Amino acid sequence: MNVPIRKVASFVALLMAALLVNITWISVARTDTLNEDGRNRRVRDAEFSKNRGSILVGNTPIAQSVAGSGRFPYLRSYPQPELWSSVTGWYSYDYARSGLEQSYNQQLAGTSSSQAASRVVDILSGRQGRGANLSTTLNPAAQAAAVSALGNQRGAVVAMDYTTGEVLALVSTPTYDPNRLATVDLPAEQAAWTELLNAPEEPLKNRATREVYPPGSTFKLVTAAAALEDGMVPSTEVDAPASLRLPNSSRSMGNSTNCGGDRVTLEQALKTSCNTAFGNIGLELGADKMIEMAEKFGFNKEQTIDISAATSRFPTEIDEAQTALTAIGQFDVAASPLQIVQVAAAIANNGEMMKPYLVSTVTNRDLTVLSSTSSESLGRPISEATAQHLRDMMVATVEDGTGRPAQIDGVVVGGKTGTAQTSPDRPPYAWFVGYAEDPKVAVVAFVEDADVERDDISGGRLAAPIFKAVVEALR
C-alpha cells in the first residue's frame, strides 16, 4: 500500500473512531438531556401518545390525562386551572412544561429509571403504559383562600407547615388557564401562548418561587436575629433618630412610622418597624455579621424545593452606608416569597429550618411507591433562645404594632410587615410574613401591584389580611 492510500485510510479510521465515540457519548451521557429538550419532537410525540400520570391533592386530580381524539389518544386536562396553575404549571406540545409538570416530567411520563421494570412488563404483556401519580402536600382550603384574597392583584402567597416543611399553599397571581396550552389544536395553542406571554400582568411568571424582590422591613427579622445572636436582648436600647445620615454618603435614612422616641428597645423597633434603629443596628453589627446571618437563612444559596426556584440575594461587598440599607431590606437585597416564609418558619420552629417540599409520594399504577419525601432539616440558623425572643417580638408586633391587621381571635400570631421602596416610577411592594401556633403554619403574603394609591400601600394594610385569610382557612 502506497503512502497516500495509507494516509487516506488512517484519516477515515480516525473519522470512524470519532463517530463511534460521539455516538457512544450521545447514547450514554446525553440521553436524558436530549430527551428532556423541548425541541425534541420525537420524544414529545411519544409523550403525548401515553397516558400521563395525575397530580393529586388528596384523592382529587388537579392535572390528569383524559381520552383525546385525532392525532393523540390522550389530552392533558386541568379541572380547576385557575386555582392550581401556580403549582402544576403547563404541559404543552410546542412550549414544553413548567411547575410540577416539568420537575417530575419523567415520572409522570413513565420514563424514569425507577419505572424501568414497569415498562418491561407493559411491553411483554402488550399493555398500554401509564405514568406515575404525584401526591402533593397542598391544602385545598388554604390554596383557595390565597387565590381569593389576592384577587386581581399581582402577588404571591406561600404557606408551609414549619415543623415539617410541607407546602400547604403556593399561589402566584394573576393565575391562568393551562388548558389553553395543553390543547393539540396547535394554532389555538400558539395564540394562547402569545396572549399570555405578552399580557401586561405577566401571568406566566411564578412570583412565589421564581422571582425575587426587595423584601423591605420583613428582612428586619434577619437583622434582629443577627443582633440577638450577637448578644442583644429585646430590651436592649438602640438609637432611633428621625433621620440617620448614612456614613460617607450624602444620603439619609428616614422613618415611615413613629418609632416611639429617639432611643427605643429592640422590641419596640421591630413593633414600629423603625428604619433608623435597624440602620444603626446594621452599622453596629457590620457587614460580615449581616452577610453571615443572611446566608445562614438561605440567601445566596440555591433554593431546595421540587419546582424551579430563584436564588435570593444578599450583597457580599458592601460599605457602611450600604450595610445600613441592607439592614432594612433595601439596597441590593432581593428575596423570593418562598425565601421570606422560610425565615419565619425557622423562627417559629425553634430556630430549625426545614426543607420545603410539595410532593409527598410518587406512586406507580399498581400503587407501589416509587419515591416518598420525608421531613429534612436544612440546619439551625439561630439558637432556640434567639428564636424565642424573635417570636415574642413578632407576637408583640401583631398585638400592638404594625401587624395588627393579622390578629386572629383565639390564635397566637406573630408577624412582620414590610413595605419595600423600589423606584419613584412604580409603587412600593407590600409584604407580610408571620406564623401561627395553632395551626402550625408560616405564611408569607406579597403584593407586587395592588392598583391603589401609593400612599395606601403598606404591608399591614394590603398583605396582612391575606395572611389572616389563609391561616383562618387552615383552622
Q: For the segment 287-300, what is each residue's pLDDT rounded down to a tens digit?
A: 999 999 999 999 99
Cβ atoms within 10 Å, residue 36: 15
Task: For residue 415, give the H/E element and its range.
Answer: strand 413-420
Confidence of residue 389 (pLDDT cuts 50, 70, 90): very high
Confidence of residue 125 (pLDDT cuts 50, 70, 90): low
End-to-end CA distance of the chain: 89
Which of the residue ranges 64-68, 355-359, 419-423, 445-449 has the most confident prediction, judged by mean pLDDT? 355-359
Sign of CA dihedral 335, 340, 341, 343: positive
Confidence of residue 35 (pLDDT cuts 50, 70, 90): low
Residue 21: predicted pLDDT: 78
Give whole-number Cα distances, 294 to 78, 391, 475, in Å.
39, 18, 32
What would you measure as the largest C-alpha separation in the chain, in angstroms? 99
Per the prediction, the chain carries an average pLDDT of: 91
| pLDDT of 454 over the 50 cut | no
Cβ–Cβ under 8 Å, residues 301 and 334 = no
Q: State the catalytic residues.
A: 217
Cβ–Cβ under 8 Å, residues 172 and 207 = yes
- The more confident residue out of 363 and 453 is 363
Task: For residue 18, give the H/E element and its range.
Answer: helix 3-28
Strand ordering across the sheet containing 74-77: 74-77, 60-67, 55-57, 133-136, 359-363, 369-372
pTM higher than 0.75, yes or no?
yes
Q: For the segment 298-352, what is each residue's pLDDT rounded down to a tens digit?
A: 999 998 899 999 999 999 999 999 999 999 999 999 999 999 999 999 999 999 9
| pLDDT of 53 over the 50 cut | yes
Q: Residues of 214-236 as b/e, b for ≥16 C-beta within 10 angstroms?
A: bbbbbbbbbbbbbbbbeebebee
Cβ–Cβ under 8 Å, residues 216 and 447 = no
Query: Backbone dihedral region of 173: left (phi > 0), alpha (psi from -120 to 50 degrees) or beta?
Result: beta
Across-strand partners of 432? 417, 445
Residue 315 amino acid letter = P
Architecture of domain 216-358+375-474: 3-Layer(aba) Sandwich (3.40)
Residue 37: predicted pLDDT: 59
Q: Give dist(CA 435, CA 351) in Å, integer.
A: 13
Q: For the segment 205-233, what is each residue's pLDDT rounded down to a tens digit?
A: 999 999 999 999 999 999 999 999 999 99
Q: Give dist(CA 150, CA 136) in Å, integer.
A: 22
HEC string for 138-187: CCHHHHHHHHHHHCCCEEEEEEECCCCCEEEEEEEECCCCCHHHHCCCHH
Find, among 292, 234, 293, 244, the residue nearest to 266 by Cα: 234
Q: Give dist(CA 469, CA 171) in Å, integer.
A: 14
Residue 456: predicted pLDDT: 41
Q: Give dist(CA 201, CA 176) in Å, integer.
A: 11
53: helix, coil or strand? Answer: coil
Rg of the chain in Å (alpha carbons): 26
Cβ–Cβ under 8 Å, residues 60 and 140 = yes
Domain boundaries, the chain: 216-358+375-474
**Helical H segments across 29-164, by residue range:** 31-36, 41-48, 81-88, 99-103, 105-109, 116-125, 140-150
Q: Are strands 133-136 and 55-57 parallel, antiparallel or unpaired?
A: parallel
